[in-house]
Amino acid sequence: MIKKFAGLCIALFIVGNLSAQSLYKADQRLSDCFSQEYIAQLENSNSELIPYYNYYLDNSYYVVDLKSVGKEVTGADIHTVLVSDDSGVKNYFSETAYSKEKFNPLKYHFNLSSNSFTTYVWKEAGIAIVFYPLSHISADYKKYMKNK
C-alpha cells in the first residue's frame, strides 16, 4: 500500500514537473522580439513573463473576416503600425498574409486601450484584427493560470 502511494506521488511529481516545464517554454515567435539570451534567461528562471507572453500571442485578439460581416468594419489601417525594434528606423507593418501560427502581435506597436477594443483593418488579407482591452487580457490570463 505504501509502495503504491509512493509510486503515485512520484508519478504526480513527474507529470507536474513536465507541465511546469512546458508552461515556461517560450513560443518560437518570441525570438522575433527578444534576443535568444534574454529568452533563455526567462526560461531558466521560470519567469512569469514567458507564460504571459505565450498567452498574449494567441489570446490578445480575434480575427474578423471582412467579407462575412455584411457591413463595413472600421478601424485603423494596420499599415500605420510601427515594428518594435531598436534600430531607430521607422519600419511599418508589411506582412502580406495572415497566419495564426505566425502572426506576432508583440512584434508591433499596436496602440491598445485599457478599457476598449481596438480594431486594425488589414484589407490585403481581407480581415480585421480586433484586440481585447488590456484589462480583459489581464483578467483572462489570471483565469488561465488558475486552471493550469
pLDDT in tens, 67-103: 998 888 999 999 999 998 877 788 999 999 999 999 9
62 or 70: which leads in pLDDT = 62
| Same domain (yes/no): 77, 128 | yes
Q: Tell me, yes or no, whether 77 and 134 share the same domain.
A: yes
pLDDT averaged over every residue in the chain: 86
Mark whether 130 and 141 lie in a shared domain.
Answer: yes
Query: Cell numbers at residue 148, please?
Result: 493550469
| 127-143: pLDDT as tens digits | 999 999 999 999 999 99
Confidence of residue 23 (pLDDT cuts 50, 70, 90): confident
Local confidence band at 22 (pLDDT 50, 70, 90 cut-offs): low
- Residue after which a domain boundary falls, among 12, 32, 59: 59
Q: CA-to-CA distance for 50 and 38, rounded, in angstroms?
A: 11
> For 108-113, what is the mean pLDDT?
96
AA identity, residue 138: S
pLDDT of residue 44: 94
Do 110 and 88 belong together in one domain? yes
What pLDDT shows up at residue 107? 95
Indicate the pairing of strand 118-122 with strand 127-131. antiparallel
- Could you report how far apart the first and last alpha carbons of the chain are, in Å? 30
Same domain, 90 and 139: yes
Nearest to 59 by CA among 116, 148, 142, 115: 142
DSSP tag of 115: S
Can you tell me the distance from the alpha carbon of 21 to that of 77, in angstroms, rounded to the nearest whole number?
Answer: 39
Query: Is 24 a residue whose pLDDT tops 70?
Result: yes
Residue appearing with cell numbers 513560443: 27
Q: Is the pLDDT of residue 2 over 50?
A: no
Q: Is 28 helix (H, G, I), strand (E, B) or coil?
A: helix
Give the containing element (helix H, strand E) for 128. Answer: strand 127-131
Is the domain of 103 the same as that of 141?
yes
39 and 65 both lie in a single domain: no
Using the predicted structure, report yes or no on whether residue 19 has a pLDDT greater than 70. Answer: no
* pLDDT given at position 125: 95
- Percentage of the chain modeled with pLDDT above 70: 85
Query: What domain count does the chain have?
Result: 2
Domain that holds residue 64: 60-148
Amino acid at site 144 = Y
Which amino acid, residue 8? L
Contact in structure between 130 and 61 (CB atoms under 8 Å) = yes
> Are 138 and 55 in contact, with CB atoms under 8 Å apart?
no
